[in-house]
Amino acid sequence: MVAKRKKKFTSGEGARYITRRGALKKLQLSLKDFRRLCILKGIYPREPRNRNKAQKGRSGIKTLYHMKDILFLMQEPIIWKLRDMKVFFRKVQRSRTIKEYGEMHKLLRKHPTLKLDNIVKERYPTYIDALRDLDDCLTLCFLFSTFPTLEHIGRDLFTLCRRLTVEFMHAVIHAKALRKVFISIKGYYYQVEIKGVTITWIVPHQFSYQPQRGDVDFKIMSTFVEFYVIMLGFVNYRLYHSLNLFYPPKLSTENLPINDKSLVDKQALASERIAALNLSLNKTSEAVDEEVQLDEFPENSTSEHMEEAKKEAEKIKKVKTLFQGLKFFLNREVPRESLVFIIRCCGGDVSWDKTLFVGSTFDEDDETITHQIADRPIIDKQYISRYYVQPQWVFDCINASELLPVNKYFIGEILPPHLSPFVDKDRDSYQQYIPPEEVKLRDPSSVPEEDDSEDELQINDVETKNESGSEENESDDDTEKMDEEENVKEIQTKKLVVKPGTVEKEDPWQKHRLEKQEYRLREKMVKNKHRRLYRSMMEGKKKRSKEVWLLKKKRRVLDEEVKTAKRTK
């Protein structure tokens, strides 16, 4: 018996991947429903090792999916729901075209809805798994909470995003889980730590909304948000119960003003006060906060990691009670929501003018206020008992884990640079530019302060060297003649004498040359298939080092201009 010959591309890479068109044909779905299903199930295109075999010898670059993923989708019950929705919309369209509006309204009352609870449980079987994947969820939900309305997207989705994000911020305030903050062009970066998981997200600036035309596909983004809303609801529910808080959140009547306690029953006013982030929530039971204590080992077994862990624990403890006992009043021009969130996460009390927004707890004339945050140089009435600082002081204090001196942040002062806390401290200075302020902040002894007196001493040294240069040239000729006569006498009276050995000094340039030669030899050992990748890496390295050099040069020129301005004064 002659064995049958295998057909080409029936095994290996050819059988392992399938194109998007083949997947649509196998699942019998439209492109719109297929995209939606892939987003909800978390299935993305794959990059094969050998594209020619994976595409079965076809030219061009096609979108490829793993065959196992498509077979996994075939068993998904949500496919039948998508097909039912397709039939439903076809019936609605038919009744609209033949003008049977009564039948159309009857159908619209029975609009089918997708339930994504099972998909969320399937993708995130544990609470920690959901927390690890919460970065993108929070960023997109905070973005959608700022939109007014969008075409083909329901208004309820935006209000739901707003409610869930406010609930999450309340939980962070109660847990005092905030660790780092940074202001950038994109918005406010926040980093919190919940159950040992670090979560970082971005909140956009509160600007007026400008619709995007054709640049962004909001329909695909709304599909992501539909899934993330269910996920964030699960996380909030579990988070509130772990903190002994009621869910959905309820305001504590103890902190409300006496005159307004009768208005708490009104749902609209209660939701506005919750969104203000300034009032504490009601607890299910009084829980005792236990401080986490690190295990102590004998002195001989202590290591660097243990010391670093202790320092980190002390730093976190400082951040939690950084603004405890301080009262802040916000002016109308400062970003209210971000400052309230940050100050309350660190144990401070905050308020604003009650005529501007709901939720203020004390007025401006309260003499117990310690800091008033303003961003305009003109203030009608000022109090001696408080500091008037700019908003950056609050952000920099959290990143430094201590209360910084306020004299650099007074109103009208030129603010110090706002450094990002998310950079790697051990990064290479040749690959990335490190500002001198950041170097000085980490190690004050590493950057000495340059005074005008040192510059004057350097100028005087140069002048004295120029004056003494002419005298030294004259004396050099006389010394050369004396040396030649002494050498002749030594040669004539030379005797056999044992002399002690001398230590030969290594030439640093020779060592540098040898290292360079060894480096070039190692470069020649790179394989041919990796040589192109190596060259691109080296070009990128050179490009980054050049950018760092240009930034340093720019900073040097600016510093020189400042020095010359000081000297002229």
Contact 285, 244 (CB under 8 A): yes
Could you tell me if residue 454 is inside a domain?
no
Bridge partners of 328, per DSSP, are 350, 371
125 and 272, same domain (yes or no): yes
What is the CA angle 156-157-162, rounded to 5? 95
Using a 10 angstrom Cβ sphere, with 0-12 exposed, 13-18 middle and 19 or more buried, the burial of residue 142 is buried
127 and 268, same domain (yes or no): yes
Q: How many residues does the chain have?
A: 569
139 and 43, same domain (yes or no): no
According to DSSP H, which parts of 181-303 are helical?
A: 218-242, 267-276
d(CA 446, CA 529): 44
200 and 66, same domain (yes or no): no
184 and 270, same domain (yes or no): yes
142 and 255, same domain (yes or no): yes
Could you tell me if residue 557 is inside a domain?
yes
Hey, what are 55's tokens? 């595409």
133 and 262, same domain (yes or no): yes
Could you tell me if residue 180 is inside a domain?
yes
Q: Domain boundary residue among 109, 130, 152?
A: 109
444 and 562, same domain (yes or no): yes
d(CA 178, CA 198): 10
Could you tell me if residue 300 is inside a domain?
no
150 and 253, same domain (yes or no): yes
84 and 125, same domain (yes or no): no
The residue segments making up the domain with residue 361 are 321-422
Could you tell me if residue 476 is inside a domain?
no
Using a 10 angstrom Cβ sphere, with 0-12 exposed, 13-18 middle and 19 or more buried, the burial of residue 117 is exposed
Hey, what are 515's tokens? 């290292």
Residue 247, number of CB atoms within 10 A of its CB = 17
Could you tell me if residue 141 is inside a domain?
yes
Contact 397, 403 (CB under 8 A): yes
155 and 241, same domain (yes or no): yes
pLDDT for residue 345: 93
126 and 260, same domain (yes or no): yes
Could you tell me if residue 57 is inside a domain?
yes
Q: Which amino acid is residue 335, in one-letter code?
A: P
Q: Domain boundary residue among 58, 89, 109?
A: 109
User: What is the residue-level pLDDT of the chain in tens, covering all 569 positions?
Assistant: 566 777 887 888 888 999 999 999 999 999 999 999 999 999 999 999 888 888 888 888 899 999 999 999 998 888 988 888 889 999 999 999 999 999 999 998 888 888 899 999 999 999 999 999 999 999 999 999 988 877 778 888 999 999 999 999 999 999 999 999 999 999 999 999 999 999 999 999 987 666 666 677 888 899 999 999 999 999 999 999 999 999 888 887 666 655 554 544 456 777 788 888 888 888 876 655 555 555 555 555 457 778 888 888 888 888 899 999 999 999 999 999 999 999 999 999 999 988 888 888 888 888 899 999 998 887 878 888 899 999 999 999 999 888 999 999 999 888 888 888 888 777 766 677 888 877 776 666 665 444 444 444 343 443 444 444 444 444 555 555 566 666 655 555 555 567 777 887 778 788 888 988 998 899 889 998 899 999 999 999 899 889 989 999 998 998 899 899 888 98
Contact 390, 155 (CB under 8 A): no
Hey, what are 405's tokens? 């001196």
Q: What is the dihedral of CA 473, 474, 475, 478, to 10 degrees?
A: 120
pLDDT for residue 456: 41
Bridge partners of 153, per DSSP, are 150
Number of domains making up the chain: 5
Could you tell me if residue 397 is inside a domain?
yes
pLDDT for residue 312: 83
What CATH number should be reported for the domain holding residue 389?
3.40.50.10190
